[in-house]
Structures are given as C-alpha cells and as structure tokens.
Amino acid sequence: MSSRKKRSPEEQARREKIRELLQSSGVSSMEDIQNLFKETIAEFMENGLDAELDDELGYSKYDYKNKDTDNSRNGHSSKTLRTSFGDVEVSVPRDRKGEFEPQILKKNQTSISQDIEEKILSMYAKGMTTSDIEAHIRDIYGIEVSDTTVSRVTDKILPIAKEWQQRPLEAIYAVVFLDAIHYHVRSEGQIIKKAVYIAIGINLDGKKDVLGMWVGENESAKFWATVLNGLKNRGVEDIFIACTDNLTGFSSAIEGVFPKTEIQNCIIHQLRNSSKYVSYKDLKALMADLKAVYAAVDLDALDAFSERWDKKYPKISQSWRDNWANLSTYFKYPQEVRRLIYTTNTIEGFNRQLRKVTKSKSVFPTDDSLLKMLYLAMIDITKKWTGRRQDWSAIYAQMAIFFGDRIPE
C-alpha cells in the first residue's frame, strides 16, 4: 500500500486555507469549483491591474500626499475575458489621460490563452515539432494541447501571411536576390517536390527585406516571370541589379518585366555546378584555377583554365563561356559592389536558416502549412534585420555613379 506524499509545512498551511475557503463558499460540485476559480482569476487580475496603475501614476489610491502627476484614476471599465473555465468579467482601472498600458492584461487581450498562443507560434516558428510543442506547453502551463489546437492556433497566421504577400513595396531596389528552395508537399495522395521562390531586396537606404515567398510546382522561368510581375504590381518600378542562379530562361524573364535591370548570375551556384562531377583528387587544384577565373577581369584566365582541364572536364569551361555575360557583370564594378553581388550569400544565408527551422518536417501536408511555417520562420529570422549594411555608404556612392540617372532627387 502506497503511503501518502509527505507535505511541507507551507503546503499544509495552504491546504488548510483551501479547505476553509471551500467550506465557507459552500462548494459541493465541480461546477462550483469552476465558478470559484473564475472569481479567483478576476481577483488576481484586478489586484494586478490596480497595482500596475499605482505604479504608473506613482501613488496609491488613498495616498494623495505623494501625488506627483497631473494624471489620475478615472473609474473602471468592464472586460470579458475568455478562459478554459468560461467567461470571466474583469474590472479594468482607467486613467484620465488614457496613457495606462496594462501588462498583466493587455488592452487588446480577450483571452488568457493568448499568452499560450504566442508561445505556440514562437515554438512553431523555430521549427519545433507538434509533439515537442505539446510537451513544452504541458510542462510550462500544465495544460494539454492537441495537434488540432496547434494547427488552429498556427492557422490564424495564414490570412496575415497572405496579406504580407500583397503588401505594397518600394519603387526602387538597388539589388534584388532571387532564389528557390525545395520542399516535399503532399498533394492528392502523392508527394510532390515544390519550389518556394524567394525574393530579398536591398533598398536605396541599404536595408534588407524579404519581398515575398511563393510556393510553386517546380522551379521554372515561367513562374519567375509571374513573381517578377507580382513585384511590379506591388509598386516596384526599377531594380538596378538582380542576382540569380543561372536557370534557363531566367534572364529573359527578368528582361521582360524590368528591361533596364542588370543581371548577375551567382558565382557560388556556378562553382557548385562546376564541381559536381569532378573527382575528389582533382577538386582542390581545379577550384583554385576557377578562383583565378572569377577573380580576373577578362577571358584570358578562362582560356588558361580550358587548356589545363578541357580534356578531362570539357563541360566546365563551356558552361562558364555560355553564362559569361551574366557571370561577369560584376567585373565593371569596384570591390564594394562586387562583394555585394557576386554571390547570393544574402539569400543563401536566409535559406540556410529556413532549412534549419523546417528540417523537422520531411513532408508538408499542404501548400498552406508550408507557407505558414516559412512565414513564421521569416518573421523570426528578420527580427535581427534592423539596420543598414555597414559598408552601404561606399556602395551607394558607387551606385550613384553607375545608376545616377535612375536615383530620384
């Protein structure tokens, strides 16, 4: 037979008070306990709100001697708060100037589950699995949440994400990075590989922003043309330089929508494609020779590379020649601008962080569930994107030389 758990003196004293409270309140059913609990929530909230207003005004309700403000109390308003035990009426104190911003019960808060919902969204944004989220909420709040609850909470993000996709954009971007990452999504009983198209812009103030993320069937120049037209419809009139991977037809898609935009193919993509079929023993020497190619300013280095490697790997130099027009755009710019555009590092770093968040999901049930997770992850990642690039003054000075006639007065 198991012995009863030994209680500490504090627990015993607390239990004694609870017994007295239950007896004096005439509690005889679970419903009575729920009502008592609702009153307890109201009392706790009201005491906390009164204390917060005391703190805000700098004097307590009956302590006029210490009053050092021209603001004062101005009665109470009633607020209905949803809880898991039902609706609770809370009396919220007001101040005459309307400056009081309570923290324990925020102005727009209608439920004490909102705090929990924010925690669920935050954990989801960091890529935690539903079962991990359930376990954490149970540990922190002692509340059971189901898969359905997590989905219901995170689904509230969808209209916000779709509104974000449609928001107006700036008229001019100095640089826009365009890339796609791929995910598996379930569709009509099959698992399909889908591309998520991502555009990140740097404006004329040197600030970085994710312009949009779009879920499409697979990466194609045709879909990119839709993305670019979407940017135009949202107010983008000009892009000085677009940094892209060298997807077939991509250049003509950009030229069709933004004819004046210069295109720089990502050197990193090109290097990755070049090294794909190279044997391990040749890799170091071959990559060193390729570095000489993209550090050079003419085709001589590529000719030297061809002489050394064409017999063994003929496709590499051919691929560089075929793409040379868009690979060499950056040669005409000074070092500051080159550093910014010769690689899509800006977007590669962002994609890497997205992958870290989404790695717990091998397959997404729908396009919407994928967009929902990417949007929350994007909000989390871009919190740190507050300032402009440190080297922006030097970059802008060069941009003004090359694109002066397109920069507004």
Q: List, in sequence order, every beta strand (DSSP E) within 41-156.
A: 73-83, 86-95
Would you state the pLDDT for residue 4?
A: 58
List of the chain residues with pLDDT < 50:
1-2
> Domain containing 58: what range?
18-110
Distances (CA, A) of 258 to 35, 174, 335, 391: 64, 13, 25, 27
Would you state the pLDDT for residue 272?
A: 77
Residue 13 lies in a domain: no
Number of domains in the chain: 3
- Beta strands 86-95 and 172-187: pairing type? unpaired
Residues 254 and 138 in one domain: no
Residues 142 and 192 in one domain: no
Residues 151 and 198 in one domain: no
Residue 10 lies in a domain: no
Residue 82 lies in a domain: yes
Residues 83 and 37 in one domain: yes
With contact defined as beta carbons under 8 Å apart, do 313 and 368 qualify? no
d(CA 367, CA 184): 10
d(CA 265, CA 170): 24
With contact defined as beta carbons under 8 Å apart, do 342 and 330 qualify? yes
Residues 78 and 225 in one domain: no
Residue 91 lies in a domain: yes
Would you state the pLDDT for residue 1?
A: 47
Residues 124 and 182 in one domain: no
Beta bridge mates, 376: none
Residue 368 lies in a domain: yes
Residues 327 and 292 in one domain: yes
Could you say which DSSP state residue 260 is in?
T
Residues 225 and 284 in one domain: yes
Residues 90 and 218 in one domain: no
Residues 96 and 131 in one domain: no
Residue 66 lies in a domain: yes
Residue 162 lies in a domain: no
Residue 161 lies in a domain: no
Instruction: Report the predicted TM-score, pTM, of the whole model to 2 decimal places.
Output: 0.65
Written as six digits, the tokens of 402 are 């090359």
From 93, 110, 127, the end of a domain falls on 110
Residues 67 and 82 in one domain: yes
- Tens of pLDDT, residues 154-202: 788 888 888 999 999 999 999 998 888 888 888 888 888 888 889 999 9
Residues 184 and 254 in one domain: yes
Would you state the pLDDT for residue 210?
A: 94
Would you state the pLDDT for residue 203?
A: 93
